[in-house]
Amino acid sequence: MERVLVTGAGGFIGHHLVKFLKKHGYWVRGVDRKHPEFEKTSDDDFKISDLRESKNCMKACKRIDYVYQLAADMGGIGYITEYHAPVTRNNALINLHMLEAAHTNNVKKYLFTSSACIYPQYLQNKADAKALKEEDAYPADAEPGYGWEKLFAELASQYYRQDYGLKTYIVRFHNIFGPQGTYEGGREKSPAAICRKIALAKDGDAITIWGDGKQTRSYCYIDDCVEGIYRLIQSDYHNPMNLGQGRLVTIDELVEIVAKIAGKTITKNHDISKPLGVMGRNADISLAKKVLGWEPKVLLEKGLEITYRWIEAQLLKTGRL
């Protein structure tokens, strides 16, 4: 049985990935600073560990064939725009120590999870911005803190492949969402935040939306995400690859879709004093289609319905509905 390490296994994507890999017959070790928040872990071996420390990375990689490096200090736009220094420091330490540990322990394959935040801000200053291709990353102008560190870690991963022969893979996530993810507290992404706000609102209420509502994004459902990750590490493609959904929607449209799911009429109060991120971001996934034969199968509306019902159930459990 092949042995897999998933770092960040206590987080949203990591938890779903562990379940996926277990169903595919792998022995899985999960490592994180916390257990999954909403479900019991299904890992064969789960370790609470701080991967900012080299010794912990070395221990995590022992007797491991494949590494999925998802561990990161991250959150929604409010979080990553407020904490540039700690986010950069924490993620740089994790990523450098994990690469060295994988190389030292002769790991066969190493997948690094990057982000659409690496793409130049000058290409994303309009709501109707063109879909981003992998080669658009340079000339670089990444988002401060989080985006620059991700771009640096991409390069470090490529250097370890070039210099040491470590088979590295790089995936760039574009707004992954779904159930089992953080939906409050400041680290949540926009789909979860909107689902929570609408679930808590009464029919006819107003909710606060960050920005003018015209900023655009594309959103990829978690089941499609983990399928894409798995296909990538099975391939022979080692350059960065987008993983997302090519359908662009405005934040106002996202609110309207969720309100329809909830069966509520919702008014929007736009707060332009809050962090907005880039004005427009969309994923060109033609490379993933060509190389992996992969494209998202779950429609945005279906994914949002599943996510909304799950968040609604969590709020009911805690007595807030």
Q: Which residues are catalytic?
A: 146
Task: Return the structure tokens found at 136.
Answer: 């658009």
Q: What are phi and psi of 302, to 5 degrees?
A: -65, -45
For residue 178, the one-letter residue type is: G
SS3 for the chain is CCEEEEECCCCHHHHHHHHHHHHCCCEEEEEECCCCCCCCCCCCEEEECCCCCHHHHHHHCCCCCEEEECCCCCCCHHHHHHCHHHHHHHHHHHHHHHHHHHHHCCCCEEEEEEEHHHCCHHHCCCCCCCCECHHHHCCCCCCCCHHHHHHHHHHHHHHHHHHHCCEEEEEEECCEECCCCCCCCCCCCHHHHHHHHHHHCCCCCEEEEECCCCCEECCEEHHHHHHHHHHHHHCCCCCCEEECCCCCEEHHHHHHHHHHHHCCCCEEEEECCCCCCCCECCECCHHHHHHHCCCCCCCHHHHHHHHHHHHHHHHHHCCCC
Residue that is written with structure tokens 């277990």 in the block: 22
Strand 216-217 and strand 249-250: the pairing is antiparallel
